[in-house]
């Protein structure tokens, strides 16, 4: 039995490359790529929430996805570095206000991810 290939480590701050996922009977040229960045639960939740809202403030997003300040900050920063969302910081009176919006690149990445998940679900239902 062949050993699985070692996993490549991604350096801090570096964007993970998408992983190709191909069903055994599928044409490798038609592989659907899964974006590792979106696959993480909180990042998927962030992009999903922003996809159905024009924009959300930090506190609105935090409450919606039930995240802590630290978790939301870290995951939002990774998505911002990948240009999947934008972050606008301003002040409302004396209070800081952080507002997030999904970018077109982020929306396309989310749609690709959802298409991949739908294909997997469909394939599993066909195998029953």
- Confidence at 46, pLDDT banded by 50, 70, 90: very high
Token pair listed for 56 = 């959300």
Q: What percent of the chain has pLDDT over 90?
A: 66
Cα dihedral: 91, 92, 96, 102 (round 10): -80
Residue 94: phi, psi to the nearest 5? -100, 0
**What is the predicted pLDDT for the residue at 128?**
77
Nearest alpha-carbon partner for 36 in 104, 101, 109: 109
Nearest alpha-carbon partner for 43 in 101, 84, 104: 84
pLDDT of 3 above 60: no
pLDDT of 27 above 50: no
- Confidence at 30, pLDDT banded by 50, 70, 90: very low
Quick one: how far is CA 99 from the chain centroid? 18
pLDDT in tens, 47-103: 999 999 999 999 999 999 999 999 999 999 999 999 999 999 999 999 999 999 999
């Amino acid at each position: 039995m062949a050993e699985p290939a070692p996993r490549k480590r991604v350096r801090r701050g570096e964007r993970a490359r998408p992983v190709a996922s191909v069903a055994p009977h599928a044409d490798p040229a038609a592989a659907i790529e899964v974006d590792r960045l979106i696959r993480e639960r909180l990042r998927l939740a962030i992009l999903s929430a922003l996809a159905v809202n024009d924009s959300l403030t930090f506190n609105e997003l935090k409450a919606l996805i039930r995240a802590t300040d630290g978790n939301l900050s870290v995951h939002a920063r990774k998505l911002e570095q990948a240009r999947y969302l934008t972050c606008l910081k301003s002040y409302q009176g004396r209070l800081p206000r952080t507002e997030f919006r999904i970018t077109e690149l982020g929306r396309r990445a989310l749609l690709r991810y959802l298409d991949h998940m739908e294909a997997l679900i469909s394939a599993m239902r066909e195998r029953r």
